[in-house]
Amino acid sequence: MNMILKGLCGLWLAGLFCVSPVKADPKSAEPPHEDSGFFILPDGVDALNMRLTLIREAKRSLDVQYYIWHQDKSGRLILSALLDAAERGVKVRLLLDDMNLAKDRDLFRDLDRHPQVEIRLFNPLKYDGKGLSKIARTVELMVDFKDKNRRMHNKMLLADESMAVMGGRNIGDEYFDLAVDKSFRDLDIYTEGPISRKLTATFESYWKNENSVPFFQEDIKVAESSAHAKEWTNLRHDLGLDRSQNPGDFLAQSKKPSALLDIQKQLIWAPADSLADSPEIFNGDAEGVEDQLKDWPEPQKSLLIESAYFIPTHALLKQFQGFLSRSVHIEVLTNSLQSNDVLMAHAGYMGKREDILKMGIVLFEWRHDLNKSSGGKSANPYGSQAGLHSKAFVIDEEYVFIGSVNLDGRSIHLNTESGLMVHSRDLAAHVTDYIKDGMNPKTSWAISLACPKSPCAEDEKIVLWKGQKDGREVIYEDEPEEGFWLRTTAKFLSHMPFKSVL
């Protein structure tokens, strides 16, 4: 019977969640055996401060894995902190996906010369994207679409194999509420405890994978490092990463205590698991996040989702329909056309939006023109526009997932992903509050189907956007506050036949 149940479980969410017959009691306060500690980071400045704190506290190692790393204020600040750590003897390993690195390869190649720093590129392209090679890089992506579009979307900073920050944020000012023109609403989670063992093992599996390519061969690396060790201060100055770099006034806005001991006193302790695609999925069949989620619960009462890109596959829609038939309440917060930073992703979602609404799923679309970008906590000091970038869901007000996984074909079929699944009503309450705050009528549009006339047939219903503006309820019959040409382009693209890889 158990084998039959497990087989049935594999059908849920195209393998993204499943039933477990055993439920552990969530805990808080003092850590029981094998429970880990958690602390959510919805605020961008807090999330940056947490990363800098872990880097400062590291004594032995820093293992860092990211999809995007911009050379802006926050990107250079974190690099400078990593070099400070390296110069006090901490071993720094940095694994970066090559898709968005392009012209910054030279900087990271220079950083790789430090004797305590090693940098690898995941699934690198042949061309670096500088000058005319930018065209060659684009052609390479088009010609070798299947392999070169499979990217490492994981995001993690792990200190001393014992403390980590994971979640949706890449490294860049827009993820930490520091960008002048835009910022992202996003969500990270700090963790420590036994779960760190699995985080360490996962990083090692990526680091040693054949798709992780070093800048230098080992023998050349030693020679390069030795040659430049005495000149490192000058080289660091030339790179604009002087030791004098400091967080500046913007970190004074952080609402979370900067001392790690103070943070540790506020941890929620609970059973959890670290989930990650095996890097071997690029080379054939291997275990992915969808397989690991089979040991976690299928919703019985409610499913609350926040996903930057929400383009459910046919199998996922079928599973949602099954939940709805059992009276499971499903609510989803995703981007609007105005807030979405990827037009193709919104087009893919548009093509399925009416079907999603007809099923009975409650939809909300995040608004762009806000003064808050981090879950309603602190105002963005630089910009006023905010897109949604979080990836989280809550099952039955009891189980929480926070990570890099969007509910779209790209996350399921192309990219590697990672995240944490935690069994804790306390943590679930915090994440529920975060998502629900984003769904309120001042921050999002409530989406519905309505008849333009009465009576009307089902296929005559139109999509409505309802929210509040300047203290008044407003209703739109088309994508709110966007121009004719962008709406028309998105509608045209929504009919294109490539939603499975968006």
DSSP-assigned beta bridge partners for residue 167: 188
Alpha helices, DSSP H, located in 88-132: 105-111
- Residue 160 annotated among the catalytic residues of the structure: yes
Q: What is the DSSP letter of 69?
A: B
What are the angstrom distances between the C-alpha of 278 and each of 83, 282, 379? 29, 9, 38
- Within 10 Å of residue 358's Cβ, how many Cβ atoms? 12
| Catalytic member of 114, 148, 155, 294 | 155
Would you say 95 and 203 are in contact if contact means Cβ atoms under 8 Å apart?
Answer: yes
Would you say 151 and 179 are in contact if contact means Cβ atoms under 8 Å apart?
Answer: no
| Catalytic member of 291, 341, 396, 433 | 396
Helix (H) or strand (E) holding 347: helix 343-359
Would you say 366 and 396 are in contact if contact means Cβ atoms under 8 Å apart?
Answer: no
Going by C-alpha positions, the residue among 298, 352, 308 that lies closest to residue 330 is: 298
- Residue 153 annotated among the catalytic residues of the structure: yes
| Catalytic member of 97, 160, 177, 186 | 160
Would you say 87 and 60 are in contact if contact means Cβ atoms under 8 Å apart?
Answer: no
- Kindly give the pairing relationship between strand 91-97 and strand 329-335: unpaired
Going by C-alpha positions, the residue among 1, 6, 17, 10 that lies closest to residue 394 is: 17
| Catalytic member of 256, 389, 423, 499 | 389
- Residue 391 annotated among the catalytic residues of the structure: yes
Could you list the beta-strand ranges (E) of 139-295.
Answer: 156-159, 163-167, 183-185, 188-192, 212-214, 268-270, 272-276
| Catalytic member of 346, 391, 423, 499 | 391
Task: Tell me how far the alpha carbon of residue 121 is from its chain's centroid.
Answer: 19
Residue whose tokens read 């500088």? 130
Q: Which residues contact 76 (CB under 8 A, 6 or more apart)?
A: 240, 241, 245
- Residue 396 annotated among the catalytic residues of the structure: yes
Amino acid at 16: L
- Residue 389 annotated among the catalytic residues of the structure: yes
| Catalytic member of 73, 148, 153, 368 | 153
DSSP-assigned beta bridge partners for residue 469: 472
Tokens of 41: 């980071």
Catalytic site residues?
153, 155, 160, 389, 391, 396
